[in-house]
């Protein structure tokens, strides 16, 4: 039995997942059965990394509801429910909130702020937030009033979210495709730099010493391992076709917050 270091909220892709929002050229070939099998492997990887996995109820009508990361962020002792820009995704937030409220208080942000969790890259002292197609300056300013950490905007020049291009692996290490973001505020970190044709591998999920990453990038995998990390490679084809990647499929609640689940 692994040491349970965190709780991961996940939601299986529902029946309408093949209609997910996407700008990917192969979006019309999303296969639900393959997506479900890839999601099962993802859940096993979270467990292998020491996670307690909690399944949110399926949402067959909400095509993008498997991308739970976007609906809320962990903010010290509470959760911030994200004011999502896409109308079709806003109902997902309340559905995640019913479960989050069993752990900690949930707070909200007023319009015209718009924010997706995929734009929020938390590090020990600073929260970097993508200024992107989905997240605006209003939200970044509002977030800075809700946390004692520094909040720093990062312009996303290509792709959906900040974490589509850069993710924090712990120990001051970032994995990043610098062609997709204005990286001037990220110079302080050590980088594993991926090339434009490896861009999809810049979204990884670090859980302690284990890094979940998309399969098919042996060069990047070796670089991550050279930093002393273990890697778990996951087939992600169906989620990639829906503009989603590794971090999007879960909301990670650190052990400290998970332990203090509010008695119902
Ligand atoms: C969307 O466009 O909202 C979804 N199809 C993909 C969301 C991916 N989420 C993420 O990168 N955090």
Give tens-digit pLDDT for 164-176.
Answer: 999 999 999 999 9
Is residue 245 situated within a structural domain? Answer: yes
Predicted pLDDT of residue 59: 95
Q: Which of 66, 52, 41 is closest to 214 using CA atoms?
A: 41
Separation between Cα atoms, residue 51 and residue 202, nearest integer Å: 22
Question: How many structural domains comprise the chain?
Answer: 1
Q: How does 76-106 read in b/e, with b if 16+ C-beta sit within 10 Å?
A: eebbbbbbbbeeebeebbebbeebbeebbeb
Going from the Cα of 67 to the center of ligand 1, the distance in angstroms, rounded, reads: 6
Cβ of 21 closer than 6 Å to ligand 1, yes or no, is yes
CATH number of the domain enclosing 176: 3.75.10.10
Cβ of 244 closer than 6 Å to ligand 1, yes or no, is yes
Range of the domain at 207: 6-258
pLDDT tens digit sequence for 117-127:
999 999 999 99
The torsion region of residue 159 among left (phi > 0), alpha (psi -120 to 50) and beta comes to left
Predicted pLDDT of residue 2: 44
Mean pLDDT of 108-124: 96
**Closest ligand 1 atom, residue 247 Cα:** 12
Cβ of 134 closer than 6 Å to ligand 1, yes or no, is no
Mean pLDDT of 27-44: 98
Q: Read out DSSP for 216-239?
A: S-HHHHHHHHTTT-EEEEE--HHH
What count of residues does the chain have? Answer: 264
Mean pLDDT of the chain: 94
Separation between Cα atoms, residue 177 and residue 39, nearest integer Å: 25
User: Quick one: tokens of 172?
Assistant: 């001051």
pTM above 0.85, yes or no: yes
Going from the Cα of 169 to the center of ligand 1, the distance in angstroms, rounded, reads: 20
Cβ of 242 closer than 6 Å to ligand 1, yes or no, is yes
Ligand 1: which residue has its CA nearest to atom 5? 21
Is residue 1 situated within a structural domain? Answer: no
**Closest ligand 1 atom, residue 86 Cα:** 3
Q: Which residues pair with 55 in a beta bridge?
A: 10
Predicted pLDDT of residue 1: 37
């Amino acid at each position: 039995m692994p040491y349970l270091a965190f709780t991961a909220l996940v939601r299986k892709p529902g029946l309408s997942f093949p209609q997910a929002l996407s700008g990917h050229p192969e979006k019309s070939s999303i296969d639900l059965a393959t997506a479900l099998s890839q999601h099962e492997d993802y859940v096993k990887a979270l467990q292998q990394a020491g996670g307690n996995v909690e399944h949110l109820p399926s949402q067959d009508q909400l095509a993008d509801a498997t991308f739970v990361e976007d609906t809320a962020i962990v903010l010290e002792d509470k959760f911030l429910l994200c004011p999502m820009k896409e109308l079709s995704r806003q109902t997902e937030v309340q559905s995640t909130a019913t479960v989050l409220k069993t752990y900690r208080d949930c707070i909200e942000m007023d319009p015209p702020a718009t924010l997706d969790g995929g734009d929020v890259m938390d590090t020990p002292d600073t929260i970097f937030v993508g200024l992107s197609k989905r997240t605006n300056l209003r939200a970044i300013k509002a977030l800075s009033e809700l946390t004692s950490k520094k909040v720093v905007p990062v312009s996303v020049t290509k792709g959906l979210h900040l974490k589509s291009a850069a993710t924090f692996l712990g120990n001051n290490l970032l994995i990043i495709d610098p062609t997709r973001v204005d990286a001037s505020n990220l110079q302080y970190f050590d980088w594993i730099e991926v090339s434009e044709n490896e861009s999809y591998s810049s979204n990884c999920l670090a859980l302690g010493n284990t890094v979940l990453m998309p399969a098919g990038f042996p060069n990047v995998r070796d670089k991550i391992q050279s930093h002393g990390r273990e890697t778990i490679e996951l087939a992600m084809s169906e989620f990639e076709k829906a503009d989603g990647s590794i971090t999007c499929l879960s909301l990670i609640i650190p052990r400290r917050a998970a332990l203090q689940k509010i008695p119902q």
